[in-house]
């Protein structure tokens, strides 16, 4: 797709500073963009690159416009505007309706004519797909699962029985939704499986990353609300609830029955114990261990940065006797006093 800068400015509500007739047909980074590309400045760190960019135009805030070597598409939210421009110039492929002959669709599954089902995919008995759903190659939809309109399952995504997914979701390769939660009762030194009878309910506009696991509830449902974005290799335990528009980066985990509020931002590799509650608008920084409920919005941290090994080892050794040293010191001061 190509467009003039004037067309982009009009369509995406930007103020244009520069030649309205310039034609662009792709996007690029400030340093990599050519004369046919639109770039953007979202992170002020890269500001210095504005003066050297070869882009046709740069999407940016008013305050950075002065130093820009290219035409400027001025907007209050350059990153979101960039996202829209990029999608406009590179529209995602539309579903190609039809069921691939190598796929297996069970009798009784509801598959509207607008649905695309790829090679070697499986749609189980009594599953129900909405309009324009895409089931990628090798993806699996379990029995009685429901997939909302416009949702896309990428290759090898796995949706197990009775899981409910809303509209316009993206479920990436290897994601597994609706496996049994990890529930076992201890008895005479061994473990008895606790049946996992609940489901998983996922709202609209949710994105679930590759190889992420979301377990079904023990009795009631695990719930992922509208607009949640989960990155790759995340574990969501049984009975968890994640609130609207919360985002969570890769390699994190939420243990069973924990509830996360709305609009939280959870950085990569953050893990949370079970049975706690995180309120709305909480930000947790990289690789933190959350062990208690959080009842006030704010930012929480919990990782010690890596250090040169020799110094780290000495400090870690001190940590190991931190309490002992404090007690000794207290005694000494008392003796002195």
Query: Which residues 54-73 are close enough to bind a copy of itself by CB under 8 A?
Result: none
CB of 28 to a copy of itself, least distance (A): 6
| Site size for a copy of itself (CB under 8 A) | 117
Distances (CA, A) of 19 to 10, 39, 49, 56, 134: 14, 15, 21, 9, 40
Query: What is the C-alpha to C-alpha distance for residues 205 and 240, in angstroms, rounded to an integer?
Result: 19
DSSP-assigned letters across all residues of 253-272 = EE-TT-EE-TT-EE-TT-EE
Q: Does 21 bind a copy of itself (CB under 8 A)?
A: no
Contacts to a copy of itself from residues 172-191, by CB under 8 A: 172-174, 176, 179-180, 182-187, 189-191
Nearer to a copy of itself (CB atom), residue 64 or residue 104: 104
Dihedral in degrees, nearest 10, Cα atoms 163, 166, 169, 171: 0
Nearer to a copy of itself (CB atom), residue 22 or residue 154: 154
Nearer to a copy of itself (CB atom), residue 21 or residue 43: 43
Task: List residues with catalytic annotation.
Answer: 238
**Residue of the chain from 255, 258, 260, 261 that contacts a copy of itself (CB under 8 A):** 255
Query: What is the C-alpha to C-alpha distance for residues 26 and 12, in angstroms, rounded to an integer?
Result: 16
| String of contacts with a copy of itself for each residue 84-123, x by CB under 8 A | x-xx--x-x-------x-x-x-------------xxx-x-
Query: What is the C-alpha to C-alpha distance for residues 163 and 216, in angstroms, rounded to an integer?
Result: 8
CB of 112 to a copy of itself, least distance (A): 21
Contacts to a copy of itself from residues 199-238, by CB under 8 A: 205, 207, 209-211, 213, 215, 219-220, 227, 229, 231-233, 235, 237
CB of 9 to a copy of itself, least distance (A): 18
Query: What is the C-alpha to C-alpha distance for residues 22 and 144, in angstroms, rounded to an integer?
Result: 52
Query: What is the C-alpha to C-alpha distance for residues 50 and 35, in angstroms, rounded to an integer?
Result: 14
Residue 134: phi, psi to the nearest 5? -115, 125
Whole-angstrom distance between the N-terminal and C-terminal Cα of the chain? 81
Nearer to a copy of itself (CB atom), residue 69 or residue 168: 168
**Residue of the chain from 6, 69, 80, 279 that contacts a copy of itself (CB under 8 A):** 80
Contacts to a copy of itself from residues 284-323, by CB under 8 A: 284-292, 298-309, 311-323
CB of 119 to a copy of itself, least distance (A): 4
CB of 92 to a copy of itself, least distance (A): 7
CA torsion sign for 123, 135, 232, 256 is negative
DSSP-assigned letters across all residues of 223-246 = EE-TT-EE-SS-EE-TT-EE-TT-
Residue with tokens 């509208």: 226
Contacts to a copy of itself from residues 118-177, by CB under 8 A: 118-120, 122, 124, 137-138, 140, 142, 154-156, 158, 160, 170, 172-174, 176
Q: Does 325 bind a copy of itself (CB under 8 A)?
A: yes
Residue 51, CB-side half-sphere exposure with 13 Å CA sphere: 4
Nearer to a copy of itself (CB atom), residue 51 or residue 192: 192
52-55: which pairs have CB atoms within 8 A and are 24 or more residues apart?
Answer: 55/28, 55/30
Nearer to a copy of itself (CB atom), residue 21 or residue 311: 311
CB of 2 to a copy of itself, least distance (A): 15
């Amino acid at each position: 797709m190509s467009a003039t800068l004037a067309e982009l400015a009009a369509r995406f509500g930007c103020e244009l500073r520069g030649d309205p007739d310039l034609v662009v047909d792709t996007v690029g980074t400030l340093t990599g963009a050519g004369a046919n590309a639109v770039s953007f400045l979202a992170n002020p760190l890269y500001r210095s690159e504005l003066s050297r960019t070869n882009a046709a135009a740069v999407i940016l805030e008013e305050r950075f416009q002065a130093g820009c070597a290219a035409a400027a598409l001025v907007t209050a939210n350059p990153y979101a505007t960039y996202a829209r421009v990029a999608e406009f110039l590179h529209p995602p492929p539309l579903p190609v309706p039809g069921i691939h002959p190598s796929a297996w669709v069970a009798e009784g599954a509801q598959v509207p004519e607008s649905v695309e089902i790829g090679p070697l995919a499986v749609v189980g008995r009594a599953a129900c797909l909405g309009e324009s759903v895409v089931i990628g190659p090798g993806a699996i939809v379990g029995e009685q699962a429901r997939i909302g309109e416009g949702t896309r399952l990428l290759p090898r995504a796995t949706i197990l029985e009775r899981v409910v997914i809303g509209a316009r979701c993206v479920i990436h390769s290897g994601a597994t939704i609706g496996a049994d939660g990890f529930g076992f009762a201890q008895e005479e030194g061994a473990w008895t499986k606790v049946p996992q009878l609940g489901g998983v309910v996922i709202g609209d506009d949710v994105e679930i990353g590759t190889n992420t696991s979301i377990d079904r509830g023990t009795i009631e449902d695990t719930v992922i609300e509208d607009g949640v974005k989960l990155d790759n290799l995340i574990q969501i335990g049984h009975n968890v609830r994640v609130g609207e528009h919360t985002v969570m980066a890769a390699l994190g985990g939420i243990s069973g029955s924990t509830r996360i509020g709305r609009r939280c931002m959870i950085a990569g590799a953050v893990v949370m114990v079970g049975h706690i509650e995180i309120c709305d608008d909480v930000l947790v920084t990289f690789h933190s261990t959350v062990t208690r409920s959080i009842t006030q919005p704010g930012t929480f941290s919990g990782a010690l940065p890596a250090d040169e090994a020799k110094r780290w080892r000495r400090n870690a050794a001190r940590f190991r006797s931190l309490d002992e040293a404090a007690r000794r010191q207290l005694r000494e001061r008392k003796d002195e006093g």
